[in-house]
Amino acid sequence: MRLKAVIEFDGRGFFGWQTQPERATVQGTIERALEQITGDVIRITGCGRTDAGVHALGYVASFVYDGGLTPDRLPIALNSILPRTIFIKSIEEVSDSFDARRDASSKLYRYRIIRGRSPLRRDTAWEYSYDLDIERMKLAAALLVGTHDYAALCEVDDPRHSLTVDSIDILEEGDEIVIDVRGKSFLYKMVRRMVGVATECGRGMIEPQTVLKLFNRTKPVQTITAPANGLVLVKVVYPKED
């Protein structure tokens, strides 16, 4: 059977999703749990990489499984041995052609900023001590939407510079600013750098129109990278769910 798993995880103790030698990753931890249950080495395909420290509410992975447990019993077995920072929310059988990464049509990332301090929420949001103008942040976000060369927002060289950001929505919820970013794929640290650009505009350090210079590689703009702990992959959407 080819299976689709929906996973929630606390990213603080992991170096991202993808397996890395000698480092704790979400993928590696789940693969070891599968091997412990089945006795076989099972490789799983994730919907994409996540930065070290980034969380997920609805990460999606796929893998081929021929063990004795049914799809509804497998999450119970996995959750009984996985660390409490990883939770398999559901597993279902899908078509043989399904690929969690290749078939994804869009992803929703959410970033939370706390205006000030919150000891209870600081592990899952960015405590921000400066005043932020929400309208200026929205102006900057609007300019980041569309199909552009986002090389200036990537920390490493990546051939996929031209990507499409479908939408960026910014709203206030009490003392929090919530930033929702939607798109099919993103470069390394791209979402966190877009948040950094929006906050710099909101703080008055740069003008919103300066964002347009980010799409010209010959005129780089200094950007900051928002902390990883404030970012969550909320949902991955596939064509049948559009």
- Residue 120 CA to residue 108 CA, distance in Å, equals 24
Phi/psi at 23 (5° precision) = -130, 145
**Helix (H) or strand (E) segment spanning residue 171:** strand 162-173
- Tracing tokens 């997920």 back to the chain, one arrives at 56
Which positions are annotated as active-site residues?
51
**Helix (H) or strand (E) segment spanning residue 135:** helix 134-144
Phi-psi region of 102 (alpha: psi -120 to 50; beta: other; left: phi over 0): alpha
Answer whether 75's CB lies under 8 Å from 22's CB: no
Answer whether 24's CB lies under 8 Å from 13's CB: yes
Answer whether 45's CB lies under 8 Å from 101's CB: yes
Identify the DSSP state of 229: G
